Structure 1
């Protein structure tokens, strides 16, 4: 769900929100930084060791800063359909869809996950949970509210009322299962359930932002604190935003505000799979996406592998035949692959696998090759 590492905004600590797990992060000597209006841990023991814990065993993240919306109402999915390019009518209760909110130009306002829940047992109203990015929560809330008939739809922002913990890695299910009433094994990727955790109501989804198997758990604050401590005692490694960023980049998962934004369409971002033109009616930005589908795009988000040990960072120019043709959106030294990788926006004609480019780093150009995404595909992901 959520995203990034070192922030650039000069927020003062007094202006920052704090997760209910903030004090527990301090006890673990987490290095706190400002991020999207929150004071969050960027790392605990170290980014590399946290990263490897998730790839090899299990790590846990406090992602309580993410926006959390609950919706209910008659024909909820039908009424939400025009807001996204994905066909939500295909979802059964207990399934979810990664999708995007678009502006009229087809640009991405935010990437979200829409969870289709079981209907209300008494009223039969349809229910859903939506998880959005922390930085766009307020804007998303206003945008969605202005486009839904709220006299017919109940729309609640529960962002500050609930803790959100992600436990990720090949052993995630084994660590989490002892605290959960229902069996986690039947839950497929992007499946979710409402069950009791530590004897209290919880929402558990088999989703994440690391490229590994794992779960995201939404619970009341006190339950979240207890779960964090029990997982820690069981041996789950606490992880910060730094490892979250390296993990998601290896999996080529876009970071909103860096890799995708309001000037990037799903087709340009390599997210064409969330656009269901053939099975949907009208939605915001449809005409632009239909045109791009028919004629192609002028730019694409590609994966780059750097030669040597030169790390391409966000904002670095991409060069072809001595001319700047694009820009790096995200880059790091991959802890798993032990080589520099990056995402970059380049002209579509230069987006083919094997294309040779250069990246300007501190005044010098270094070789880069367009490679297939993702950079790393975990063998542990559930189907």
Structure 2
């Protein structure tokens, strides 16, 4: 197995005292000071994340939209320029290869952002599905860095960052799941109002050469607003509270979109797309479905822990769990048999041999105030 890669900002993270872990084949900062402090900073002010491990693919051509309609689960051809859309890359049998965000950059140009650990399978799928289509695909991952500013103060931080300017639209007027052309210190920048924390925020895609200067500028501009650098640990508890799935936990090749509560991302009325026949041939009446679980006390269920029914029988398995920093009690996402999936159902978690009562709860656990 090869050593994990480092992002262009690795030396910045080291200087800030970050602890690291291998995530998706990349050496990424887990935390700088404290998981809790970084989590609370994002909920109350802002956090700055290095997400340069994500994969970026460009799709161009006069039929690029139609190609993506056939390659992915959603309808991308109808998306206006300037917008973004959540979608899925499905296997032939309907399992999930990855969840992605697609941006329409121009009439004939799209950007697909995939998870770091799925760069190879998504790239392979896009290439294979391009056969017979007059489109050009480019893997841009090694050309760009990706930073995220997340939290209620995110807009203020970006507005205060010297050298950062948008073209054609004010930062404040950029809508959720939309993007704007921007510049930083003379370098082009794609600025999208998207994120993975449940808070307002922006993701900034910048050429590698400008990444360190942008990181430094954002940290300096954000300090008066309470912005801190934030690592993967806080990102995980933030997305869990927001009920956002993580590939390898809630999503996998063994899971279908409907099981994961993502049926809305699949356009079954399209005449054809990869995975359509597989989904249509499945009997989904008795397969496990994703639910939220809330419990009292301080002991949280973790990935792999058993979910128990009223008689102590195993009825499911936790995929992600933590003591929620915002809510103050344990939360988890889990796959359970459909008969136990109704909100309010009383179940239990097997936490290292101890039965911890848990209640099925609608997702998300946390929703920011508008």
TM-score by length of 2: 0.94
Partner of residue 56 from structure 1, selected from 14, 35, 44: 44
Q: Which residue of 2 aligns with 1:4?
A: none
- SS of 1:307's partner is coil
Q: Which residue of 2 aligns with 1:84?
A: 72
Q: Deviations over 1:94-140 (max 9, x none)?
A: 11110111112211110001111123xxxxxx001110011010111
Residue 316 in structure 1 maps to residue 302 in structure 2:
no
Decide whether aligned partners of structure 1 residues 291 and 354 sit closer, same or farther in structure 2, where only a CA change above 3 A counts. farther
User: Is the 8 Å Cα contact of residues 68 and 77 (structure 2) preserved in structure 1?
Assistant: no
Q: Which residue of 2 aligns with 1:163?
A: 145
Partner of residue 361 from structure 2, selected from 340, 359, 371: 371
Aligned pairs (5 A) from 1:191-202: 191-202=178-189
Residue 209 in structure 1 maps to residue 200 in structure 2:
no
Distance 1:231 1:71 in 2: 30
- SS of 1:53's partner is helix
Question: For structure 1, which segment, 14-23 or 129-138, has the greater mean C-alpha deviation from structure 2 after superposition?
Answer: 14-23
- SS of 2:199's partner is coil
Distance 1:113 1:255 in 2: 14
User: Is the 8 Å Cα contact of residues 268 and 297 (structure 1) preserved in structure 2?
Assistant: no
User: Is the 8 Å Cα contact of residues 267 and 297 (structure 1) preserved in structure 2?
Assistant: no
Aligned pairs (5 A) from 1:1-383: 15-119=3-107, 126-149=108-131, 152-177=134-159, 178=161, 179-182=164-167, 183-234=170-221, 235=223, 236-278=227-269, 280-290=270-280, 296=285, 298-320=287-309, 321-380=311-370
Distance 1:300 1:230 in 2: 44
- SS of 1:269's partner is coil
Distance 2:174 2:339 in 1: 41
Cα deviation for residue 289 of structure 1 reads 3.2
- SS of 1:156's partner is strand
Cα deviation for residue 195 of structure 1 reads 2.1
User: Is the 8 Å Cα contact of residues 58 and 167 (structure 1) preserved in structure 2?
Assistant: yes
Cα deviation for residue 84 of structure 1 reads 1.7
Q: Deviations over 1:327-351 (max 9, x none)?
A: 0000001110011000000011110
Distance 2:319 2:122 in 1: 23
Distance 1:311 1:230 in 2: 38
Cα deviation for residue 286 of structure 1 reads 1.5
Q: Which residue of 2 aligns with 1:5?
A: none
Cα deviation for residue 287 of structure 1 reads 3.0
Question: For structure 1, which segment, 170-179 or 53-62, has the greater mean C-alpha deviation from structure 2 after superposition?
Answer: 170-179
Structure 2: which 5+ residue stretches go unaligned? Answer: none
User: Is the 8 Å Cα contact of residues 267 and 289 (structure 1) preserved in structure 2?
Assistant: no
Structure 1: which 5+ residue stretches go unaligned? Answer: 1-10, 120-125
Decide whether aligned partners of structure 1 residues 151 and 318 sit closer, same or farther in structure 2, where only a CA change above 3 A counts. closer
